[in-house]
């Protein structure tokens, strides 16, 4: 009897960078399910239609994917892994198209942001936002237009049998995206060396200073702080903090215990292994 394949969900279609990250993390011997939106991945994980979800959380050029942070909080799910991949954006068109023909370019907003210098150099060309880069590339194929192009991956280009009009159009040649792997339960393992926590501060002078001071006093290295509005009209914020360590470490236990007494809410959103940069 064959082992049952794990079921993983990602946003986009074949050729999406999320699919590439999924294969890098899990390998290709899985059952993959694709969804239209980030929230669809969360919903289907919550409903147990999939075992894991994989979503972009941060790009080295354009910064955080804020919606994913908001959805983590909304659906009460946990980060159990991460993977970082190099993102190479290309301008893709139909076989008989040329760069000079292009009047419209389609892409997810991130694609435009990561390739701004090149796209702006094309002059009076329309920039049209689309659901994601892989769907943009498929749309170009379906349109069969010589005047339309999309920003996308080499994989998406090959899948749709199209042509790269200009390769590697990133503003930054070291353009990378970090993806998180989410699951319904928090995982604690001795090999885990990274943690994500969420904190809602009290409305008091020095409240953030006290939190950061606890991490400093217990020699815990912070790798990222992200703030997101709670949206209740009070201009309050949730702070998402990435830090190095393991939940079993005494210094981390003490720091989190002390912080809990100083804030309105503290939640551990993930315990996992820090990713290596893959190319």
Residue 179 annotated as catalytic: yes
Residue from 140, 186, 143 nearest 165 by CA: 140
Question: Strand, helix or coil at 257?
Answer: helix
Residues 191 and 7: their CA atoms lie apart, in Å, by: 24
Task: Determine contact, residues 125/106, Cβ cutoff 8 Å.
Answer: no
CA–CA distances in Å: residue 166 to residues 60, 102, 127, 149: 22, 12, 16, 10
Distance from CA of residue 93 to its chain's centroid? 26
| Marked catalytic residue, from 62, 78, 133, 177 | 177
* Residue 177 designated active-site: yes
Look at the block and give the residue holding tokens 């215990």. 257
Q: Write down the H helix ranges in the chain.
A: 17-26, 38-46, 66-75, 109-114, 116-121, 133-143, 154-159, 207-217, 250-260
Strands 52-59 and 126-129: unpaired
Nearest to 133 by CA among 13, 223, 34, 217: 13
* Tokens, residue 25: 């993390």
Question: From the candidates 179, 196, 215, 239, which is the catalytic residue?
Answer: 179
Report the residue count for the chain: 279
200 sits in which H/E element:
strand 194-200
- Dihedral angle of Cα 202, 208, 213, 218, to the nearest 10 degrees: 70
Catalytic positions, please? 177, 179
């Amino acid at each position: 009897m064959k082992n049952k394949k794990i079921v993983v969900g990602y946003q986009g279609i074949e050729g999406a960078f999320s699919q590439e990250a999924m294969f890098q993390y899990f390998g290709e011997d899985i059952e993959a399910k694709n969804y239209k939106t980030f929230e669809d991945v969360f919903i289907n994980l919550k409903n147990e239609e999939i075992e894991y979800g994989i979503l972009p959380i941060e790009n080295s050029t354009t910064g955080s994917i804020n919606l994913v942070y908001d959805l983590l909080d909304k659906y009460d799910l946990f980060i159990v892994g991460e993977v970082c991949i190099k993102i190479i954006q290309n301008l893709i068109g139909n076989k008989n198209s040329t760069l000079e023909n292009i009047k419209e370019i389609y892409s997810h907003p991130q694609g435009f942001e990561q390739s701004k210098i090149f796209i702006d150099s094309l002059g009076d060309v329309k920039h049209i936002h689309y659901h994601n880069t892989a769907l943009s590339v498929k749309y170009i194929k379906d349109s069969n237009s010589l005047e339309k192009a999309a920003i996308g991956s080499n994989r998406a280009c090959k899948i749709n049998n199209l042509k790269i009009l200009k390769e590697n159009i990133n503003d930054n040649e070291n353009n990378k995206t970090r993806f998180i792997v989410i699951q319904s339960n928090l995982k604690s393992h001795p090999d885990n060396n990274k943690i994500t926590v969420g904190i809602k501060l009290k409305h008091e002078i020095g409240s953030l200073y006290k939190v950061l001071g606890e991490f400093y006093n217990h020699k815990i290295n912070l790798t990222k702080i992200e703030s997101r509005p709670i949206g209740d009209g009070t201009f309050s914020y949730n702070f998402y903090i990435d830090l190095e360590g393991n939940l079993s470490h005494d210094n981390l236990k003490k720091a989190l215990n002390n912080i809990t007494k100083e804030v309105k809410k503290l939640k551990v959103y993930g315990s996992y292994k820090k990713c290596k940069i893959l190319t």
